[in-house]
């Protein structure tokens, strides 16, 4: 209780941080009865963060509220961000910047070995251009520090021309502002569960940069919740991702100046659905995407939400009907159109 009270004080400080309102919450928390019946096993629910109402939505909207809030507070007129070619984050950064009257520079990394015109020009890439972002490219896909350095080089050039840029970094080691969005989301989820009188036995969430997974886990533990959180690996194997998530939680604790509420044993990762790699989907993942569409009319992407749905279905099938699992739907709908050829092959 003492830790929870301490965190409540820190949460007050968190709410005092600069924050740009980019959506109206809370997002829905829905039961998935048709998918539950189809799979058997535990009952499944979804936290619909695909319904954050900004340019097709997604989990990154929550993260950007803190990044862009700080950008506004610093008087920035331009936002810079880096990500994969079909990155949802960069699309939403451009959208958020537009809403707040700032320009956006997007750097797309060559992270996924797909060369189709759909992947390179459709989906999120088309939306990036429609949103008016200035486009850049970075040839490496697994060099977070190098991608960040290139952003800083671009930012220096903007400063030389009298601009006031704000850089959203990709690599760890920077203020965990994005993760704060999911610390707040943890509070929102617990309030909804209380209102619904619903006990959740496990939460399933995609685990990539670590901001969503780490922020959610931190918020739950700091608020006294012991609900297990299983991260479905979407970019790196479980061993490396475990270290990343725990480090992200430690960064949040230091930033909020409170004791670390997360134990290493709280960090649970599953990399079963990672293969054949980041941005690529196995037949099992494609089937999970189709099952969600056919049974619940829920749209998922092959990179993040599809892999975590495959993880959810697997976890549900292994558990008793009296158990309840909650899926964090992180969005990613526009990316579907970048994978047209891959979907055509799976029909």
Active site residues: 87
Strands 165-168 and 134-138: unpaired
Contact of 178 with 216, CB cutoff 8 Å: no
Question: Which two tokens mark 74?
Answer: 């610093």
> Which DSSP string do the residues of 23-88 spell out, in sequence order?
S-SPPPEEE-HHHHHHH-SSEEEEEEGGG-SSTT--THHHHHHHHHHHHHHTT-SEEEEEEETT-H
Helices (H), the chain: 2-16, 33-39, 60-73, 88-99, 117-121, 124-130, 144-160, 177-196, 211-222, 238-256, 283-296, 305-317, 340-346
Angle, helices 211-222 vs 2-16, to 10°: value is 130
Give the pairing of strands 29-31 and 43-48.
antiparallel
- Output the DSSP codes for 221-248: HHTT----EEEEESSS-HHHHHHHHHHH
Contact 220, 230 (CB under 8 A): no
């Amino acid at each position: 209780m003492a830790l929870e009270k301490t965190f409540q004080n820190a949460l007050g400080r968190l709410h005092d941080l600069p924050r740009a309102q980019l959506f109206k919450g809370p997002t829905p928390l829905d039961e998935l009865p048709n998918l539950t019946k189809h799979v058997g096993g535990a009952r499944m629910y979804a936290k619909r963060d695909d319904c954050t109402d900004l340019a097709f939505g997604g989990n990154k909207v929550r993260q950007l509220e803190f990044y862009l809030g700080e950008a506004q507070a610093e008087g920035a007129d331009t936002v810079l961000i880096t990500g994969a070619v079909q990155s949802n984050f960069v699309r939403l950064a451009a959208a958020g910047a537009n809403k707040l009257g700032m320009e956006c520079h997007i750097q797309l990394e060559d992270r996924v070995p797909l060369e189709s015109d759909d992947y390179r020009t459709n989906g999120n890439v088309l939306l990036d251009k429609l949103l008016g972002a200035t486009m850049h490219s970075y040839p490496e896909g697994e060099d977070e520090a190098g991608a960040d350095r290139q952003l800083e080089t671009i930012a220096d050039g903007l400063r030389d021309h009298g601009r006031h840029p704000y850089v959203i970094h990709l690599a760890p080691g920077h203020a965990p502002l994005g993760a704060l969005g999911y610390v707040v989301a943890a509070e929102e989820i617990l309030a909804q569960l209380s209102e619904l009188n619903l006990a959740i036995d496990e939460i399933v969430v995609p685990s990539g940069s670590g901001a969503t997974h780490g922020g959610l886990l931190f918020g739950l533990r700091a608020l006294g919740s012991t609900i297990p959180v299983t991260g479905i690996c979407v970019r790196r194997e479980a061993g490396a991702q475990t270290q990343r998530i725990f480090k992200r939680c430690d960064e949040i604790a230091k930033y909020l100046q409170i004791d670390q509420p997360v134990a290493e044993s709280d960090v649970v990762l599953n990399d079963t659905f990672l293969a054949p790699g980041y941005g690529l989907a196995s037949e099992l993942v494609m089937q999970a995407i189709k099952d969600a569409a056919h049974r619940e009319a829920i749209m998922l992407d092959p990179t993040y939400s599809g892999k975590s749905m495959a993880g959810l279905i697997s976890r549900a099938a292994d558990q008793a009907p009296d158990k309840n699992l909650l899926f964090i739907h992180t969005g990613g709908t526009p990316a579907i159109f970048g994978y047209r050829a891959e979907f055509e092959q799976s029909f």
